[in-house]
Amino acid sequence: MVGTATPKKLKVVAVVSRELAPLMKVLSIAEVYGVEGSQELTGLIEDLARRGDVGVILMQRSLLGRARLPGEMWEALWPIVVEFPDRLADLSLSPELFYRELVRKFIGYEIHIGVGG
């Protein structure tokens, strides 16, 4: 069951490659899952979506591209899947473009970030 009514406290969970898992633990993420295969990843995402105590799933962009998200996750209020860039090509993009896309996805508006005065 994907959440429709918010419980008292929701967890932030990280789903990352095994190499990045120690960093997420240092950042005090409540639960950290290091994954390798696509089947393992898809099963984990489905399990996290069914849990009632997960509010945010942090995922590497490269892993999200390999995962098949359950259909009900697109319609639910939570858990929210937030991707973060991890490939060299992603890191070379302008942060302005990354945040503009993120805000448009979650808020529904496009923002323009100006640099300087």
Q: Quote the CA–CA distance of 108 and 112 in Å, as a whole number.
A: 13
Question: Considering the domain 11-86 in this protein, what is its CATH number?
Answer: 3.40.50.10580
Q: Which residues pair with 11 in a beta bridge?
A: 54
**What was the pLDDT predicted at 12?**
94
DSSP string, 20-84: THHHHHHTT-SEEEEE-SHHHHHHHHHHHHH-SSEEEEEEEHHHHHH----GGGGTSSBSEEEEE
The ranges of the chain annotated as CATH 3.40.50.10580 are 11-86
Give the Cβ contact number of residue 66 at 10 Å.
12
Predicted structure pTM score: 0.75
**What was the pLDDT predicted at 48?**
92
pLDDT digits (tens, 9 = 90+) for 60-96: 988 988 887 777 776 777 888 888 888 888 778 787 7
What mean pLDDT do residues 6-27 have?
Answer: 89
Residue 117 pLDDT > 50, yes or no? no
